[in-house]
Amino acid sequence: MSATERLARLGLALPPPPEPIGNYVPWRLGGNMLFLSGVGPRNANGISTIGKVGQALTVDQGYEAAKLCGLNLIANMRAALGSIDRVDTILKVFGMVNAAPNFIEHPKIINGCTDLFVAVFGDNGRPARSAVGMGSLPQNISVEIEAIVLVR
């Protein structure tokens, strides 16, 4: 089953690719490597999940925010490649959580993104990964995630 078919089977629709909020591009393709800029948890209506995880948001809400980041990353993959079926392997994910100072469950949050990648891309969606806490993120978003992808 292709990644496009898996995404449809999950009942998920990709949002429009997010617009950069600074002086950068959303992605850069170099040979067979796709470098994806960090994206936040913006839903299809353009509204982002904001607030600190462990304070304003629960672990489950943070997980869902990271899943939204994953959908936005997949939208950028499709924009860059024409089809997500060209994705060979998700090589690396770097996840940043806008976390309360005493919050310690960052990996559980970033699982929202990587669980989605495995559901869509199979075992090739399981990346090397970092999950870190931040004192703040742009516009008070709850999660920001970037990725590096190997392209067919």
Residue 73's domain is classified under what CATH number?
A: 3.30.1330.40
CA torsion, points 128, 29, 8, 97, in degrees to nearest 10?
40
Mean pLDDT score of the chain, rounded to an integer?
97
Listed in order, strand segments (DSSP E) in the chain are: 27-30, 33-39, 87-98, 128-134, 143-151
More confident residue, 53 or 45: 53
How many domains, in total, are found in the chain?
A: 1
Residue 18 has pLDDT above 90, yes or no: no
User: Domain range spanning residue 79?
Assistant: 3-151
Whether 56 shows a pLDDT value over 90: the answer reads yes
Q: Is the pLDDT of residue 143 over 90?
A: yes
The average pLDDT across 137-148 equals: 97
pLDDT of res. 38:
97
Q: Given this model, what pLDDT does residue 21 score?
A: 86
| 12, two tokens | 């998920």
